[in-house]
Amino acid sequence: MRARLAGVAGVLALVHGDRPEAWQLLNDALAEWRQQDSPRDLAYVLLNLGFVAGDAGRLAEAQSYMEEGLVASRAAVDQVLEAFCLERLGQFALQRGDTATAAEYLDESIRLATERGALRVIGYARHTHAWLCYGAHDYGAARAEFDASREEFAALDERWGQTLGHAGYGHAAAAQGDVVVARARFLEILGSASEPGNPLIPCFVVEGFAPGTGRGAARRGGW
């Protein structure tokens, strides 16, 4: 029970942007779950520790957490957690410039998440895949993937994910010289700018209207 409470509290701290508190609580939960036979709970904590480490730029550490989480999710036969771990591993591979590995992880993540109807995971995986297309200068495919991702989040009424989709689409449109559409997408984001827990949203708008936009995937919080 203590491990579960620490894990839940850690995720809540992460969602509210308190990274130090989330880190401490999730590590407390990890120490407890390592001593118990509960691979699903272990995978869940490792997934969120991977989020925190990745957002802090500690990619090697994040990769280690996520690889262990992937093993635990498979031991638990939880394909949704497995798909989310694969998505994050794809994100890390993309950040390293290993596009072939990123594509493999993301394709498998989308396949598993689609089989399980896990809309949030599909949304994140397709968003990351859109940045993969963007990096390959396939801006048409990137726009299609950003919109597909946004639609998954719209089905969940999740404004944060929709904001990520609008921002990515705007960058891809701008890269194609489609300034009118890009401007419309960045303005769309302003509707979410006052929502609590989304301090990066105004930054997306400012970056979107700056010259040379669209140089990387946006960060996001835990699951």
Say how many residues make up the chain.
223
The whole-angstrom separation of Cα 47 and Cα 39 is 12
Rounded to the nearest integer, the mean pLDDT of the chain is 84
* pLDDT tens-place string over residues 46-67: 998 998 888 888 899 999 999 9
Find the mean pLDDT for residues 182-200: 69
Per-residue pLDDT band at 223 (split at 50, 70, 90): very low
> Can you say whether the dihedral through the CA atoms of 132, 134, 136, 139 is positive or negative?
positive
User: What number of CA atoms fall less than 13 Å from residue 10's CA on the CB side?
Assistant: 27
The whole-angstrom separation of Cα 147 and Cα 140 is 11
